[in-house]
Structure 1
Amino acid sequence: MNETRAALPATYVRGGTSRAIVFRRDDLPADHREWKRIFQSVLGSPDPDSKQLDGLGGGITSLSKVAILSRSARDGVDVDYLFVQIEPATGEMLMDANCGNISSAVGPFAVDEGWVVPGATGATVRIFNENTGKVIVSSFDPEAPDSSYIEIAGVAGRAAPISLRFEDPEGSMGRGGFPSGARCDTLQVASDRTLKVTLIDVTLPCVILDARDIGLTGNETYAALCSNADFLSLMTEIRVSAAIRMGLCSSEGDARQVLQNMPDVVIVSPPPEGKTGIIARFVSCDRAHRAAPVTSSMALAAACRLRGTIACDLEIASNPLEVTIHHFSGTMDVRVELGAKDRVVATSVLRTARRIMHGEVLLPFALPDAGLAA
């Protein structure tokens, strides 16, 4: 079989507070077993120092992502979207969950590729997320005037707003909005320690706990949490215990070694004096997140609107439809739509995105000619 040095068409994007390499599915090998080494090489993993100097990754999980897109044959859907997280240090390929920030780059990509033609008032792109089986509606104006530009916390500068509406977001892993069956639960994280938590799955499985229950004020800085080895170790134990309690995996070994990206841990506290909303510190893949992940922010916002959860007891509300989340980089406003019996109908947020570069990404190895999709 003839082999050629691989040069794959790719697009480099920022979506919200994350970055990703976007591939059209037809440009990737039909044999999915080839994908892992491709994505690792493109991003520069595995790298024991988590620097990703030999690739396009940024050394942290929010900058080590891949989106695989294709025109959809599904009724009422424009784009199929598969999200892949590459762990910077180990190179593990995690595909169980979606990334809300990168979701914001999917609609503009579809318009740029000619898959969706905008109307007179802008574009609406219906996206099927293959990780969760859920639909996201992306609405934006490709010709938006500068006067309409917005700034989002964690990103310098202003850009055109992109509205993301996550439809029917409960139970992204198929076990309902509260996988343990309770809005407030207890979680055993050591032989002699239990914590009061909310285990919720709205766009993404999350475990929410009160900062005071683990000896924090809730106002800790990103640097302080990243340098606190005891804190990071506790976050892993909480994630592992919650994954088992939520039925996301069946064993501690799987929670530690396989399902390393779920659930997110969200540490909450009351808002700053004189403010409304809730303070949150997000931990994703056992690392403090520099800003606010869209998916876990939506889970938190939903919890704030559902009585009996830890978040609902701590939030100070000013708008019954919107929750303001105070995080390391600023604030994020999340809209929550509730239906009968407190069912979460949809969650929405405004993001921005940018296509940074388009061309070919070079791989340091050959791929079989026959391996590329037709």
Structure 2
Amino acid sequence: MTEQLLDPSDLINFDSLLTEQELSWRATVREFVTEHIKPNIAAWYEKAYFPREIVPELGSLGVLGMHLDGHGCAGRTAVEYGLAAAELEAGDSGLRTFVSVQGSLAMSAIHKHGSEEQKSRWLPAMAAGEVIGCFGLTEPTAGSDPSSMKTFARRDGSDWVLNGAKRWIGLATLADVAVIWAQTEQGVRGFLVPTETQGFSATPIEPKLSMRASIQCDIEMTEVRLPADAVLPDVTGLKGPFSCLNEARYGIIWGSMGAARDAFEDALAYAQQRLQFDKPLAGYQMTQQKLVDMALEINKGFLLAVHIGRQKDAGTLDLHQISVGKLNNCREAIEVCREARTILGGNGITMDYSPLRHANNLESVRTYEGTDEVHTLILGQRLTGVPAFR
């Protein structure tokens, strides 16, 4: 009975698929979210405020770069990473996005493609939340097609000089270091750019209707001069940023379902307490159909997430499966949140309840790390063997 109270959407005994270690880790992250995020998120969202003060606490929790080994990182499994992402996004997509940008993008780029010197310099401080990173790939005219990026790095003696612009870059105004991807004469390369470097500037994109407890920015780079050792040495080409994007996309598979679950729980509790025509909303057949349909999609979404996570841990995951999870779970999560809002009626548009905030955030989550259309085309190519991107 206790587990039913903890996870009222669970119709399939999902926890039986998890180990004791996984359950304990999920409980730890859930407790953090309950104590530090949920009591504050409505005010943060309304004020469009990113709570930088909890970054060191997230570091102490061990969720920054949690799936990476060594250099102060926790070395968690893919499933443990996913469970944490779900709990964080049950708090808010903006906070899970911070963890994703820091760990799955910026830290992963350094961990996968950096030199030992770069890893030692940046990763321990980033894992502790003492240093914030950002990941500059998307440009004003290069979103779904990063191969068309205009940012260019040229050689000048032993130095590199960067010129260009990036857009929708999370955390850029707070970041201490930016991972910037740029065209070179040898192909796309990654560069570690301390944000205090002359010629680098970041500006918040405001105002926003989504991801308000997070920061997304424009970056401008004008004659940004970097030493030779600023380049990530172990990768050339778009496989570099794509390897990081797949880590972030994987986290979204879980995170989106965390948002859906939280919206469902708000709607269920409200339906059980709200009286209409002398009985609770939960006692009406149409309300029960909504609740059942939402719970089924949440259960299916978490089953898909843990299946993909187990394969990732086993090293047997095909990359197109990440597209299956990202496309399906984002699409279903946003519908769950919208449906949950209908149960709340007019009260559902207030900040007292989470579903509409989650739905608004998921509009961004559904778009970044590959739109529905991009993931559809990835899967279409898998099914037919014919690429249809152009």
**TM-score, length of structure 2 as denominator length:** 0.23
Question: Which of these two proteins has the greater Rg computed from alpha carbons?
Answer: 2
More helix by share: 2
More strand by share: 1
Q: Which has the higher contact order (CA 8 A, sep 6+)?
A: 1
